[in-house]
Structure 1
Amino acid sequence: MRAARLIRMVLLLQSRPRMTAAELAGELGVSERTVARDAEALSEAGIPVYAERGRAGGYALVGGH
């Protein structure tokens, strides 16, 4: 169920400062593309998820959330 996966993604991002798409995909049992779509859906819903590209990049929540 997508709603449960989105909630789990938020909880994972709250517990760690940053996670790569590969790490999130592994934890959630989905593809990296699904992680990107889910991050976009969370952002559209008002959850401050952002992505940083590059070697040290990944997904994170804006500080304080």
Structure 2
Amino acid sequence: MDIDFYSKIIDLALISFPYLAYNLVRRYKFKLIIITMLFISIIYFLSSIYLERINYTYNILHNL
């Protein structure tokens, strides 16, 4: 498992998501601002848990 690969994917998602959110807000005005903020926080939380799990299993496999 390559940890850098997953972190690059998550970085790309976090960089490209505000652009998509901006287009949605421009179409549907101010209803989606709170939803997009919640969605970004949920993605960040889940990605941090996922990276910690990958790092934990990588350390276990590396120490064998």
TM-score, length of structure 2 as denominator length: 0.32
- Which protein shows a greater Rg? 2
Q: Which structure has the higher relative contact order (CA within 8 Å, separation 6+)?
A: 2
Higher strand residue share: 1
